[in-house]
Amino acid sequence: MSGIGKVTAGAPRSVRVSGWGSYVPERVLSNADLERLVDTSDEWIRTRTGIRERRVAAPHETTATLGAIAAKRAIATAGLEPEDIDVIVVATLTPDYPMPSTAALVKEAIGNSSAAAFDIAAACSGFVFGYATADSYVRSGLARHVLVVGAELLTRFLDFEDRGTCILFGDGAGAVVLSGSDEPGGGMAGLEMTTDPDGAYMIWLPSGGSRSPASAETARRGEHFIRMEGRETYRYATRTLATSALTAIEKAGWTPDQVDLFIPHQANIRIIEAVAKGLRLPLDRFFVNIDRYGNTSAASVGIALDEAVAEGRVKVGDKLVFVAFGAGFTSGAIALEWTADPTDRLRAASVEPVASVRAPLDWSSVDPIPPRLAAVLDDPNGPPVPLDDVVPGEPAHAHTEEPS
């Protein structure tokens, strides 16, 4: 029996963030590493995007295992047990499989037996959309504790011959737990969510769906990689981030200068600078960590929140704004009042950064690391990787072993 739907308990007086956590893989991929793969430079990437490095998941890691580690940290921070979670929502555009949901696998990995678990597909806005979904379940009294995870393993969906996309993205996961409280106030005060299908093909991944099922032909065409119209997306982002944030702030009855900290989706430092300028606020009112992780899509707001709290940038009573945009085009913003004791995060210190999900007994995956990326990871000081060095679909190295 699931833990959801016991409405007799009644609706809580408020819905608050009770736990938060994140996880990024250990392996760093620097701009210098990317210089060996495509015609780019550290200087171009830093000045045009603000990115210095990003993380790459190890071969044994998947989106679900990244998400499960962030989830375990968030649950520990909340002072809860995995079994206390009634609903698990995972936002991702890089699921372990098209089905089952990554949320089902996160549920297994964290050791929860009763939660309802499902995924949200809203690309980089997924964490905000997931938060809004979770808030609704708790606010209505249908669930007491809802886990929201944004997790991405983007480096396995990138064309490492396309300099327009492969320099931007990285891997990681962030999570929050939303819980009902008997105390009034706090939590979400304003919400804005939009979707503009005119932008549907500005960022997309063509194959693997009903329009174009995966086949040798789609692989030959490279249609299993993320495609993006960078300039159009940039234009949309600068417009929509500011308007979404402003709308959520107005719905909360606040003004922009009252917001203590904006935690924006980390897509490009120039986009964040433009939004700060548009709202007539100094850049230090915006949390930025894109330099270390690149764009981690649905994971970015959750990772940034965890780091902002750890760095002492968030205090009880602070007014925060989470704001994101992404493929779809989707955008979303949440204006919320922070109520949790930042030192609660110390409860997660003992959570080991490991998680695993069973694989079917009679099946094993192919080498998950894209061959050109593997060539750089396996030989960190090697020469540039020529474009015809590795045949697509033929991994340069076997990467199927589990960690010892």
| Residues at the interface with ligand UT7 (CB under 6 A) | 40, 44, 48-49, 124, 163-164, 167, 203, 228, 230-231, 233-234, 237, 267-268, 295, 297, 326
Residue nearer to ligand UT7 on the CB measure, 14 or 165 = 165
Q: Which of 31, 112, 289, 295 is catalytic?
A: 295
Closest CA to 153 of 302, 368, 394, 354: 368
Q: How far is the CB of 173 from ligand UT7 (least distance, A)?
A: 16
Residue nearer to ligand UT7 on the CB measure, 164 or 353 = 164
Q: Which of 124, 145, 268, 289 is catalytic?
A: 124
Token output for 172: 């990681």
Q: Which of 166, 265, 268, 289 is catalytic?
A: 265
Contacts of 242 (CB under 8 A, 6+ apart): 274, 275, 278, 279
Q: How far is the CB of 44 from ligand UT7 (least distance, A)?
A: 4
**How would you write 123-143 as a 3-class SS string?**
HHHHHHHHHHHHHHHHHHCCC
Q: How far is the CB of 67 from ligand UT7 (least distance, A)?
A: 18
Query: What are the backbone angles phi and psi of residue 214, rounded to the nearest 5°?
Result: -60, 135
Q: How far is the CB of 313 from ligand UT7 (least distance, A)?
A: 22
Token output for 144: 């007491």
The tally of CA atoms less than 13 A away on the side-chain side of residue 108 is 11
Instruction: Establish whether 166 is a catalytic residue.
Output: no
Q: Which residue is nearest to ligand UT7 (CB)?
A: 230
Residue nearer to ligand UT7 on the CB measure, 251 or 270 = 270
Helix (H) or strand (E) holding 106: helix 102-110
Instruction: Establish whether 295 is a catalytic residue.
Output: yes
Residue nearer to ligand UT7 on the CB measure, 129 or 137 = 129
Closest CA to 193 of 333, 322, 324: 333
Q: How far is the CB of 296 from ligand UT7 (least distance, A)?
A: 9
Residue nearer to ligand UT7 on the CB measure, 78 or 237 = 237
Q: Can you list the alpha helix ranges (DSSP code H) found in 221-346?
A: 230-251, 269-278, 290-293, 300-310
Rounded to a whole number of angstroms, the CA Rg of the chain reads 20
User: Which residues are known catalytic residues?
Assistant: 124, 265, 295
